[in-house]
């Protein structure tokens, strides 16, 4: 391993060559995931995912829910009043969501300032707030 470290182009002290050093790290991670996946598979043979009753368009269940990763958004939609300033509430909320998604997509072009520790801290706080809000909404959506 010492020979490969001296042969890579930059010869920096603070880096390792992709192969074999970093490749091996990735490889350990993959092995770990494979083991977890096989354990999940073994559990699946004992407790299958299962199915509900076959789909019936005429029989609407009491609590209709989307998948868990859309549940927070779905729950947020429920809090929107039916009419805001004469505009249809849900429509406004969905438009806001689409706009938010677009802002996220082009975010690097909006936040062009040189990065600083302070900006990083603000972003971290924002992320924590987002996570707490999303988890809270998901739980409320799940139990309601």
Q: What's the closest the beta carbon of residue 82 comes to other proteins, in angstroms? A: 12
Residues 47-106, interacting with other proteins (CB under 8 A)? 48-57, 59-61, 64-70, 73-74, 77, 90-91, 94-95, 98, 104-106
* Residues 18-57 as x/- pattern, contact with other proteins by CB under 8 A: xxxxxxxxxxxxxx-xx--xx-xxxxxx--xxxxxxxxxx
Whether the CB-CB separation of 138 and 72 falls below 8 Å is answered with yes
Residues 123-142, interacting with other proteins (CB under 8 A)? 123-124, 127, 130-131
Tokens of 104: 């996220």
What is the distance of C-alpha 6 from the center of its chain? 40
Provide the residue count of the chain. 144
Please state, in angstroms and rounded to a whole number, the distance separating the CA atoms of residues 35 and 25.
16
Count of residues that bind other proteins according to CB under 8 A: 81
């Amino acid at each position: 391993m010492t020979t490969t470290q001296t042969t890579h182009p930059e010869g920096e002290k603070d880096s390792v060559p992709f192969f074999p050093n970093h490749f091996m790290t990735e490889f350990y991670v993959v092995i770990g995931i494979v083991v977890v996946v096989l354990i999940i598979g073994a559990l699946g043979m004992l407790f299958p995912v299962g199915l509900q009753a076959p789909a019936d368009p005429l029989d609407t269940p009491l609590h209709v829910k989307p998948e868990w990763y859309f549940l927070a958004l779905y729950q947020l939609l429920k809090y929107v009043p039916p009419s805001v300033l004469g505009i249809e509430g849900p429509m406004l909320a969905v438009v806001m969501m689409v706009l938010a998604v677009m802002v996220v997509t082009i975010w690097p072009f909006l936040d062009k300032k040189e990065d600083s520790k302070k900006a990083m801290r603000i972003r971290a706080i924002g992320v924590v707030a987002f996570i707490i809000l999303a988890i809270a909404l998901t739980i409320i959506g799940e139990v309601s």
